[in-house]
Amino acid sequence: MPRPFDFFLSKGRETAEAGLAGTEDARVDGKHQPPSTLAALRAENIWKSYEDGSIQVLNGVDFEARPGQTVALCGPSGCGKSTLLHLLGGLDEPDRGRILLGSAEIAKLSRTQFLRHKVGFVFQLHNLIPDLTLEENCLIPTVAAGTPRREALARLHDLAGRTGLTHRLTQRIQKLSGGERQRTALCRALMNRPGILLADEPTGSLDERTSRQIFDLLLDLARTDGITLVMATHDRGLAAQCDRLVEMRDGKICE
Ligand code: ADP
Ligand code: MG
């Protein structure tokens, strides 16, 4: 499980918080149309194992998300959803296969080039810093990205308004409810205007009603801003609202 400060420490986490700009919205009349343009995100024949190969997790995954598409990644616990999301976001490296952001292969990018491809992450447990305020937590990725403070605050106020958090900005995370914490995590992931958002069971630790509210918000934010969203979830009801549902089983996609 990632720790709150990890995103400062690794290429991947920093990028994860930094948020792919300039992706093209491929939806027409609210429905996804298969476009002829490049995929926003693409995995080609991905293999991944742990413990020196004794735990084989991904067995030749091929996956792609079109620009602006919302994709639900479903499958039983342990089938490799989180592992795939981590690889898609550059948080870990595959044993074999390629991950591409647009036309750029992650493994061949320098740190600086990689950071230009903005990818946001939302985790099941929000991974916020409990002693800091909502505002402070959300400003961290903008400091890492070198965004001027005034610009960052304007972005935060916009996101806080859209997520109903304006009145909670100066509150410490530990004083917030589960739903408010996850809304804060959404804001933080969106601070640097990502083109791709990867969400790993973002509603998995919430009650049903809050879970639905957070999911609706997530989908609305992604669609309004034309963000490509890939979300792992157990909840088929929520998954059905995405443009596409991708089924994973035993480390493979069986769409
Ligand atoms: P899911 O998200 O679909 O529940 P995961 O991708 O988390 O599945 O895990 C897939 C399998 O890989 C599981 O059997 C899990 O125990 C194993 N696994 C995940 N991460 C590690 C790790 N860092 N070290 C060893 N095994 C791992
Ligand atoms: Mg998981």
- State pLDDT tens for residues 64-75: 999 999 999 999
What whole-number distance in Å separates Cα of residue 229 and Cα of residue 221?
10
| Smallest CA separation from ligand 1 atom 11, residue | 78
What is the reported pTM? Answer: 0.85
Domain assignment present for residue 212? The answer is: yes
Residue with the bigger pLDDT between 46 and 36: it is: 46
Q: Which domain holds residue 138?
A: 6-253
Confidence at 3, pLDDT banded by 50, 70, 90 = very low
For residue 68, give the CATH number of its domain.
3.40.50.300
Domain assignment present for residue 249? The answer is: yes
What is the number of structural domains in the chain? 1
Give me the pLDDT at residue 12, please: 38
Domain assignment present for residue 87? The answer is: yes
Domain assignment present for residue 145? The answer is: yes
Tell me how far the alpha carbon of residue 204 lies from the centroid of ligand 2, in angstroms: 10
Closest ligand to Cα 204: 2
Residues lining ligand 1, Cβ inside 6 A: 50-51, 55, 57, 75, 77-83
Mean pLDDT along residues 182-190:
94
Domain assignment present for residue 73? The answer is: yes
Domain assignment present for residue 84? The answer is: yes
For 187-231, write each residue's pLDDT tens digit.
999 999 999 999 999 998 888 988 899 999 999 999 999 999 999
Domain assignment present for residue 1? The answer is: no
Give me the pLDDT at residue 145, please: 86
Domain assignment present for residue 109? The answer is: yes
Tell me how far the alpha carbon of residue 253 lies from the centroid of ligand 1, in angstroms: 16
Pocket test for ligand 1, best of 48, 82, 234, 235 (most atoms within 8 A of CB): 82
